[in-house]
Amino acid sequence: MAKVSSFTKKESPKVALKVSKSGMEFESLMCKIDVASFSRMMSKSNLPTPEVREIVQVFKELKG
């Protein structure tokens, strides 16, 4: 979890903010779901496609 916290606070608060604005708790999601599920969930959100791609990419990188 520390890795996620440092990401959301230091590297890109903008992306973390987009995720939280979409009604999801980024840190808890990191532990609970895989990349494919996250990607499907984000594609159903009301965010623009480029933002969804960016967030999913960040999620993939953080999941390792």
- Distance from C-alpha of 19 to C-alpha of 21, rounded to nearest angstrom: 5
What's the confidence (pLDDT) of residue 4? 46
What's the confidence (pLDDT) of residue 1? 36
62, 35 in Cβ contact below 8 A? no
- Distance from C-alpha of 23 to C-alpha of 19, rounded to nearest angstrom: 7
| Model confidence pLDDT, tens digit, residues 2-61 | 444 444 444 455 566 555 555 556 566 666 778 888 888 878 877 788 888 888 888 888
What's the confidence (pLDDT) of residue 33? 76
Please state the φ and ψ torsions of residue 17, each to the nearest 5 degrees. Answer: -65, -40
